Structure formats: C-alpha cells, structure tokens
Amino acid sequence: MITPLEFLYHFRDLLRERGIRFAITSGMACVYYGLQQNTKDSDWIIEPADLPKLRALLLEYERRVPPWRISYRHIFGAPLVEEYLAAGWTSHLAIWPSAGGPEEHVDIFGAPPRVLPGSVAADEMGFAEPDLVAWMKRTDRDKDWPIVDGLARILEGAQMPEAALHMQQAAALRAIWRALPTAVQNTLLPHRPLLAMIESVSDDDMLQGLIRVERTIWETVNQERYRRYQHEWKEFYRRWKKEDFWEWPTPEPFSRQHERLVRAAKTYDLPVVILDEAAKEAAWTRGIERATLISGRPSATVLALAPSRGRMLP
Amino acid sequence: MNVDSLKLPDSYYEHLAEIMGQEAADWARLPRAERERELTRHHMLYNTPDDLSLWPAELDGGVDRP
C-alpha cells in the first residue's frame, strides 16, 4: 500500500518527468516547513498551460496495469480545464493508486488566490516558497494566521526581507523593518501599506492593533472573493441536478467523467470568469467596508491599511 | 528554500510554542525526515480523510440549502 507521502513524491516525480510546471502548496507545504502536523490532502499549483499534459498523464495512469482509479470529488470545483483554472477556479480529484488502498485527495490550483501572476516558485523539492504559501494562507480561517506568522519567522531565519510582509507580531515586525535598507523597504511597501506606519506608531500594542485590522481586511476581502465563486457554482449545480438520472460523481472512468463535467459546465453555464475587473473592485470595496464595521476603526484608517485591489485580488 | 539546511534559533521554536502550542513546536524541531516518518505513522493509524463532511463548510452544508 502506498502512503500519502509516498504518493505525494511519486506524483511530483511524474509531473517532473512530463515537464508539467508545478509547486506543492498549502497543507503539505506546511508539513514540509514544520508548521502543520497532519494532513492527507495535497494541493498543487499547476501552470494552466500544462493542464493538457496533466490530463494526458491521468488518462495514461487510468489505463495502465495496475490502473489508478481517478475521480472528480463531489465538492465545489470546476473541470480540470485551462480556462477555468486560469480564472481562479480549483479542481478536486480523488486518486486510488492501488486497489483497496486509501484514496488520495489532490486539489489543483491554476491561479492561486493572492499570488501575483508570474511569482509561482518552488524549491528543489517541489514545494512552494514560504512567501507564496504565506500569501495563500491569508484566508478567513483562524488556523491559517499562526502559519502566516510562522512562515514569516522562517523567512526571517533565512534572512529574506519578505519576512516583513508576513510578520504578525508588532515587536518582531518593527525590528525586522528597521534592519532593512531603505531601498529594500521601498520594494516592500506596495505590498503592505502597514509598513509605512511603523515609525509613526511608537507603541507596540497600537501597532499590534493595526496588524489585527489588516488581518480583518484580508479575511473580509477573501470572503467576498470566495462567495462569488460559491454562488455561481451553487447555481450551476442546482441547474445540472435537474437532469434525469443525475449522479455526481459518476462511477465511470475519469476520461468519461471529465467529458461529462465539461459538457455540463457548458450546458448549465458555469461561468469561466467570476472576478472581472469590476467584480474585483466590488469585492475589494465591500471587503473594506465590512472590515471597517468589524474593526470599529475610522474608514480612513482601514483604507490606509488596505493593500491595493491588485495586491489582494490579482 | 531547502528546509533541511535551514537552522532556526531557539527563539523561533519558543515563539511557535506561544502561538501554536508546545507539541507543535516540538514537532517543528524534528528533522524533516523524522517529521515525515511521524506523519506516515499517523496516516497508517488514522486512515481518515482530512474533511469528513459531505460538503465543505464554505458551502454552508451544501447546495440543497438556500
């Protein structure tokens, strides 16, 4: 029986063999960095242009002897197609690499949230760099924020200036910031406006309060982003479910499932682009309004702390 | 970044203990190979998926609810 970690590294090696550009992120990356003790799912950022090669790999392994059993999972997700994943959707697969063995959950991103285009980088082991994982972990889940802070500490230990982008503790942030040359500080400021306030706020508790407001902004903007995908997917799913003899996921091979899901996405109108420029602006604005209400701070303060729309919703 | 060659100070692990608990900090101190052995042992003992719910929490219990 193959273990989840053996599967992770085997799948990584297969992607490399096929020239598929990838980075392992989220839970397994946090295990790698020593910040998460347990996960079974693996999350992969795959270059959307390489998805045809990934589908070919899956189809090949479904036909080999002994075969992998591969299936879409029932959860919220789009077809494993370039256009959808490049537009921020995710695809979710279950893979049984051995008969009778456990299923492996494989979650695939093409354009991961909060990660700037062209900045996906993996180390020699195939894991996303800590800076990238830290941007992805700015979610509205409480459990992710200690990980953002832990990744900042790792970046600090590696003497990388990006530590200042992710540090969640006021005193440590102040110390890191002051040690950076001005030229480096200037490259970081557009990503984290709070950095510009460090010297004007002398009290660490006050600075900690601003860090908390900043976190609230990330949380609410993420909720506004996610809820738009969720709404469209629910509407699509409800329309699709009205088909006669509807079933999902079907027990058929992945190749047939994939055709079925692609056809359903077209027939029942699962939109490719959820966040066009206007929708991004609306999500960002609404997120900041909500963060203002939640934090009880003046709107000017919240707006001054908010990273740009392009930084939060690239 | 190669985590195998990264040496972090004691203050890092003390901070992890503060924000994540002592057990998590002790785990982080282990060499990567040992962490992976622990994780595999856990997977063998507790063969459960990460998320047991039929629908993820983000869908508020599923598409059958308004």
Note the pLDDT tens digit of each residue in A117-174: 999 989 999 999 999 999 999 999 888 999 999 999 999 999 999 999 999 999 999 9
Are B35 and A150 in contact (CB < 8 Å)?
no
Q: What is the pTM of this model?
A: 0.93
Residue B18 contacts A where some CB pair is shorter than 8 Å: no
In angstroms, rounded to a whole number, what is the distance separating the alpha carbons of residues B11 and A153? 10
Q: What would you measure as the largest C-alpha separation in chain B, in angstroms?
A: 51
User: Per residue in A37-88, pLDDT tens?
Assistant: 778 889 999 999 999 999 999 999 999 999 999 999 887 789 999 999 999 9
Structure tokens at A135: 């941007």
Q: What strand order describes the sheet that includes A42-46?
A: A22-25, A42-46, A104-109, A90-96, A69-72
Q: Is A203 exposed, middle or buried (0-12, 13-18, 19+ CB in 10 A)?
A: exposed
- Chain A residues within 8 A of B66 when measuring between CB atoms: none
Distance of CA A73 to the CA centre of its chain: 18
Residue corresponding to tokens 């040496």: B7
Q: Return the structure tokens found at A27.
A: 């839970």
- For residue B56, pLDDT over 60 is answered with no
ipTM above 0.90, yes or no: no
* Nearest CA-CA distance, residue A281 and chain B, Å: 22
pLDDT at A152: 96
Task: Say yes or no for a CB contact (<8 Å) between B32 and A154.
Answer: no
The residues spanned by each domain of chain A are: 4-109, 141-242+250-314
Torsion of CA A127, A133, A137, A143, to 10 degrees: 60
CB-CB contact of A25 with A45 (8 Å): yes
- Residue type at position B47: N
Q: Quick one: closest CA in A to B30, which residue?
A: A34
Alpha-carbon distance of A60 to A309, in angstroms, equals 41
pLDDT for B51 = 52
pLDDT at B66 over 50: no
